[in-house]
Amino acid sequence: MDELRERLARLDPLKEKSRDEFDKDPYLRDIVERNLEVAAQCCIDICNRIISLEKAKKPVDSHDAIIRAGELNIIDAEFAKRIAPIAGFRNIFVHGYLGLDWDEIYRNLQRLEDLLQFADAIANWIRTRG
């Protein structure tokens, strides 16, 4: 959770950058790319860890881990469906499938509230578990 919050804090001021600034600055794009990749991995890892702690059925992949977190009421089920594609987004970063889609990266930068909502939901789940 600490790592996720740290990555989101690094990204937050960057979401104010215009698309033109984003396109013209390769260093900015690199910073956004790496921090979004780590934030997405944090979400996946958190879901997998909680699923393991709950001794629930092991997910088949990263996307399924997020969906499963919704099924287990760790996060809201509808929200889980909305955020689960971040797993595929992370795979593109890590494996370099078909190059990077800078439009999608910029869109995800503008949607940091989803990752913040995820972090808040996990923090709430932890609080309720004592």
pLDDT digits (tens, 9 = 90+) for 52-93: 999 999 999 999 999 999 999 999 999 999 999 888 777 666
Which CATH code, of 3.30.360.10, 1.10.510.10, 3.30.565.10, 1.20.120.580, is assigned to 2-123? 1.20.120.580
Res 86: pLDDT = 86
Q: Which of 48, 35, 30, 28 is nearest to 3 (CA)?
A: 35
Distance CA 47, CA 50 (A): 5
If you average pLDDT over every residue of the chain, what do you get?
91
Given a cut of 90, whether residue 16 has pLDDT beyond it is yes
What does pTM read for this prediction?
Answer: 0.89
Asked if 67 contacts 88 with a C-beta cutoff of 8 angstroms, the reply is no
